[in-house]
Structure 1
Amino acid sequence: MARRVLYKKSDWKRLAGGVVASTLTPEPYRAEVRKDYARLIHCPAFRRLQGKTQLFPGQESDFFRNRLTHSLEVSQIAKSIAIKLNQTRSELKSTPIDTDLVEFAALAHDIGHPPFGHNGEHALDQLMIDNGGFEGNAQTLRLIAKIEKKATEDFPSKSNRPLPFDAAHRDLRKGLNLTARTLASVLKYDAEIPANRAARLAAGTDKNAHKGYYQLENDLVTWIKGSVGHSGDLPFKTVECQIMDIADDIAYSTYDLEDSLKADFLSPVMMIAMSDDFKGRLIEKVKGNIEKHYSHIPVADREFTLSEMNAILAKLFSGTLTPGPEVLSRFDHRVSFEEAAFIFSSSTYDRSRELGRNGYLRTAFTSFLVGSFVRDVEFEYNSSAPALSKVRLSLSTFKIVETLKHFSFQLLIESPRLKLAEKRGSEIIGKIFSTLNDDHALLPDDWKGICKSYDNSHFQQRTICDYIAGMTDAYCVELHSRITGTNPPSMWKPH
């Protein structure tokens, strides 16, 4: 029996026409995934990532990461993981993981996220909850496979005139006209998002964004799975997608932490000194993710306790907080307990804050973390379905990554300073959505044309949602100003 390989001919079928693209290409020197990579890099939605919030609003400082720089960092980490696996796993010697495809997945993974970060995602989800909801990963797939203006079913292959819809109102848009395997690389959640609030209640996710893909993309996902090969026995998540997901978690747990340290929202002492109640809430989140991803590990090893979390923090920051010779030299004579406590506490406080203020120390800290995390990525080859082979962090490293990730996120979402910014973003999105939904004439001509293509309120609301989701933070604020009359730009400026 022939040995199965990681990639096969049907992986490279394209949306428009479904033919194997390599039979038509005038550029045999350029692989299909390189074309997909180029289409992503040059599309408007990718450029707009520079104007979307990652953690802190972009106008606050030019130091903090935005969605574009975050995606670039995820891409570098993901490619490093792929290179490491290709060089260390014998199963990948003859058919290595495609590093271009891994880079594509990483660069594209946040392209569907709306303005104002997670809060913008929640605002759109609540507005669309009875019309299929909104979720960043689902929007990423929809954006690159439908919304971006590269190809339709007939353009440019059969016609020189792009028609997004035919006379029967059939949607002909094919987005960037990517290959099946490339689209599969961003399909993180193999689940259809519930259609409405009642369906969410039944699924137990009525308040939070349900992870998955929209019902509108059901046929697309079926086509992707059929092209890549999926029997339905395993959750559908390709090797490249898994690597991207791990790299995203690594970047989140280290570089978002670095931004938080620089902004003085976090410090090692603050993290260590958080209450047991706060840490307990984080422990439950980490344990939930352990159960989800490591059910094959013995139960005893899946435990995660308060003492284990404290040990992780102590180990991570011991080098930062341990007193140096200049502090220890002050104990060359007998000191009182009070004086010793004063010396140690002031030293610990100073060294804790120095990690946030000293760029050399921050860079060394995050570089060490990223390198150690990448080295602890594991690979489990699936001989019957190589594309769905398992890639994961070792359990011990997963616990560290999850601890850092949840610490940053939880402390920041509980910050009154960020809550004010989030509240404003939610109200801006709500106002724009309701205004455009009431009067489609306010939409730009191309988006107005899409709304007119279907006399269907569900489809029209999805179109308005697509339009808002593609905005940068600044453009969203500007459009809100036009609508409300608050410091509006000139009426002659196009939108």
Structure 2
Amino acid sequence: MYNAAERERISGKGGQDAKELYRTSFRKDYARLIHAPSFRRLQNKTQLYPGIESDFFRNRLTHSLEVSQIASSIAIKLNTEIAELKDSPLDTDLVAFAGLAHDLGHPPFGHNGEVALDDLMYKYGGFEGNAQTLRILARIEKKVLDTEAKFADEDGRLGLDLTYRALAATLKYDKEIPKRNQPGLVKGYYGSEAELVKEIKRRVLNGSHVAGKFKTVECQIMDIADDISYSTYDLEDSLKGGFLSPLQILDDIHSNNTVRENVVRKVRSAMMESGFPAAHANKTVTEDNIIAIAYHIFGQIIPEHPLKNIKAEAMTICMSAHSASQTLGANGYMRTDFTSDLIGTFIQGVRFKYDKQHPALSKVWLEENTLLLVETLKHLNYELVIRSPRLRLVHFRGYEIVKKIFVALSKTDGESLLPKDFQELHSRAKSEEAKMRVICDFVAGMTDRYAAEFYERLYGGNQTIFKPI
């Protein structure tokens, strides 16, 4: 499953230290990430609800930990069940690493911060969270400097100096982001890392070429674990915070045409991205089926009543359903059982097909019924929570904060507002594109809290102007 070439580090050093035979090269990658500042900063980046609302809500750090754990469970399950993996198992440290690293490149204020930075960087190769993850791991993190290394940048930066296979586990989109004449988010990797990506592919595939997209088995598992976590635990936060209830979800999917149509469209798209033909997705994902899936997920919490006299018992049934719906949000035991059952069901739906020629590209996917459950939950939560006026207001403000900070730093002499290390990088940058990327790296690395504070200090407010940046 793993060859010697992909265990080597991008500095050219061997992956495993002869003095540290007690841990593998991938275990060392995992440790380097755990101790990295960019990983710690995820604790102050919003997952769904701002941390100031409650210390119960997940942030990007706790979300990444959960994705890592789910990914590891999937890998252990596959190692146990798949015959081809008995003698050459998936490395669970590497799979866990992929889960921990997957959100590393998220800027402050999540997707809206991502859009704000891309709106300002599209002429220079754009901005995208997954591309930024690779850049952080291979460039920005301050672990290794080596101006002689082949894949170091002009300043000799090699980030955490990880193995090629670990970096491959973060390559979710196999496409170089182009320079554009107009904004519009493109998923992929930056041109500045294009040569490194070519070498990653060469190492993982032993120099051969494959048709189709490059996505390693660890990356596929991480992607599935992310969807499982997002669809289940973000829902739990919404239930706990009182933003949603099962009855409200069922009412919206039944009566809100816009919500229902958007969910149907997005679930169909997800099925086609997973390899199902368009005709099959259109036939399978109908409005009636989406309603039925929602009732299947949440209907189990509603107690059954024998209907002897519908009129006499209608009020009792309504009160019982409402009570059960409210209890799911308020009762920790009931809520934990509900989410645990969902996670277990979803993991049982993972399927695997071994690729004998290129084991690294073996296929991992969710079987159809499980995929429908995960995608329906995920997009219901998006339509009913993320697009709600409560959160749209937060997202709008986040966009404006990120954009105005970037504009201030990119003005003439604006680089003087950067910390000293970024000022030095900016002064050594040889082109406008390189200088803008330095500013982008700085803003993207901010936490939500730090970005709001930096904004207040730039444009007025209650923050002191004497606190160091």
* TM-score calculated relative to the size of structure 2: 0.94
Q: Is the 8 A contact 2:147 2:155 kept in 1?
A: no
Instruction: Give the equivalent residue in structure 2 for 1:309.
Output: 290
**Aligned 8 A contact 1:379 1:390 in 2:** yes
Q: Where does residue 139 of structure 2 map in the other structure?
A: 146
SS of 1:379's partner is strand
Secondary structure in structure 2 of the residue aligned to 1:391: strand
In 1, the alpha carbon distance for the partners of 2:299 and 2:145 equals 57
Q: Which residue of 1 aligns with 2:50?
A: 57
Letter in 1 for 2:468: P
1:90-123 deviations in whole A, cap 9, x for unaligned? 0000000000000000001001101112211111
Aligned to 1:172: 156
Map 1:330-349 → 2, pairs under 5 A: 337=311, 339-349=312-322
1:160 corresponds to = none
- Asked if 1 retains the 8 angstrom alpha-carbon contact of 2:328 and 2:334, the reply is yes
1:96 and 1:301 mapped to 2: Cα distance?
37
- 1:194 and 2:168 correspond: no
Residue 167 of structure 2 is matched in structure 1 by: 183
Could you tell me how far apart the structure 1 residues matched to 2:59 and 2:359 are?
34
Which residue of the partner structure matches residue 121 of structure 2? Answer: 128
Query: What letter matches 2:231 in structure 1?
Result: S
Match of 1:79 in 2: 72
Partner of 1:276 in structure 2? 257
Q: Give CA deviations for 1:258-315 in whole Å, capped at 9, x if unaligned.
A: 0011122221112211223421211111101111212379837962111211121111
SS in 2 for 1:129: helix
The unaligned stretches of length 5 or more in structure 2 are: none
Q: Is the 8 A contact 1:291 1:302 kept in 2?
A: no
Report the AA paired with residue 405 of structure 1.
Answer: K
| Superposition RMSD in Å | 2.0
For the 8 Å contact 1:14–1:179, the answer to whether it is kept is yes
The worse-fitting range, judged by mean Cα deviation, of 28-37 and 375-384 is 28-37
Take 2:215 and 2:374, find their aligned partners in 1: how far apart are those partners? Answer: 21
Q: Secondary structure at the match of 1:392?
A: strand
The equivalent residue for 2:433 is: 458
User: 1:161 maps to which residue?
Assistant: none
Matched, 1:8 2:7: no
**Quick check: 1:415 aligned with 2:393?**
no
Helix, strand or coil at the partner of 1:341: helix
Answer whether contact 1:184 1:238 (CA < 8 A) is retained: yes
Cα distance between partner residues in 2 of 1:393 and 1:425: 34
- Does the CA contact (< 8 Å) of 2:175 and 2:187 recur in 1? yes
2:362 alignment counterpart: 389
| Distance in 1 separating the partners of 2:127 and 2:69 | 28
Query: Is 1:228 equivalent to 2:204 in the alignment?
Result: yes
Is contact 1:85–1:92 with CA below 8 Å preserved after alignment?
Answer: yes
Structure 1 residues 396-419: Cα deviation after superposition (integer angstroms, max 9, x where no partner): 100100000001111123211111
Counterpart in the other structure of 1:29: 22
**Any unmatched runs of 5+ in structure 1?**
1-5, 158-163, 199-205
Aligned to 1:112: 105
| 1:478 corresponding residue in structure 2 | 453
Cα distance change on mapping 1:310 and 1:294 into 2, 3 Å: same
Following TM superposition, where does structure 1 have runs of at least 4 consecutive aligned residues deviating by more than 4 angstroms? none
Q: Please give the secondary structure, in 2, of the residue aligned with 1:197.
A: coil
Residue 241, structure 1, aligned to residue 241, structure 2? no
CA contact (8 A) 2:271 2:281 kept: no
CA distance in structure 2 between the partners assigned to 1:56 and 1:217 by the alignment:
33
Residue deviations 1:145-177 (CA, integer Å, cap 9, x gap): 10000012259x9xxxxxx87xxxx24211000
- The answer to whether the 8 A contact 2:95-2:221 is kept is yes
Higher deviation after alignment, 405-414 or 53-62? 405-414
Which letter maps to 1:223? E
Task: Determine the C-alpha separation between the residues in 2 that align with 1:244 and 1:323.
Answer: 38
> Conserved in 1, the CA contact under 8 Å of 2:130 and 2:170?
yes
In 2, distance between residues paired with 1:468 and 1:300?
A: 40
- The worse-fitting range, judged by mean Cα deviation, of 381-390 and 293-302 is 293-302
Q: Match for 1:442 among 417, 420, 430?
A: 417
Specify the code of the residue in structure 1 equivalent to 2:167.
L
Partners of 1:72 and 1:107 within 8 A in 2? yes
1:294 equivalent to 2:268? Answer: no
Name the amino acid aligned to 1:73.
Answer: E
| Alpha-carbon separation, structure 2, partners of 1:100 and 1:444 | 35
Contact residue 478 and residue 489 of structure 1 kept, 8 A: no
2:235 aligned to which of 233, 253, 257: 257
Deviation, structure 1 residue 321: 1.6
Q: Deviations over 1:231-276 (max 9, x none)?
A: 1313110011100000000000000010011122221112211223
Cα-to-partner distance string for 1:444-493 (whole Å, 9 max, x where unaligned): 000000101113221111111111111111111111111112112250x3
TM-score (normalizing by structure 1): 0.89
Q: 1:20 aligns with which of 14, 31, 46?
A: 14
Structure 1: distance between partners of 2:281 and 2:179: 39
Deviations 1:124-151 (A, max 9, x none): 1112122211111111011011000001
Once the two structures are overlaid, the 10-residue window that deviates more, 121-130 or 466-475, is: 121-130
Q: Report which stretch shifted further, 273-282 or 288-297.
A: 288-297
For 1:457 and 1:300, locate their aligned partners in 2 and report how far apart those are by CA, in whole Å: 46
SS in 2 for 1:143: helix
Paired with 1:430 and 1:234, the residues of 2 have a C-alpha distance of: 36
The match for 1:91 is 84
Aligned-partner residue type, residue 366 of structure 2: L
Moved more, 457-466 or 178-187: 457-466
CA 412–298 in structure 1, closer or farther in 2 if over 3 Å, else same = closer
* Contact 1:74 1:247 (C-alpha < 8 Å) held by counterparts: yes
Equivalent position SS for 2:122? coil
C-alpha distance in structure 2 between counterparts of 1:482 and 1:132, whole Å: 29
C-alpha distance in structure 2 between counterparts of 1:228 and 1:361, whole Å: 45
Q: Is the 8 A contact 2:147 2:157 kept in 1?
A: no
**Change beyond 3 A, Cα 1:132–1:272:** same
| CA distance in structure 2 between the partners assigned to 1:32 and 1:418 by the alignment | 42
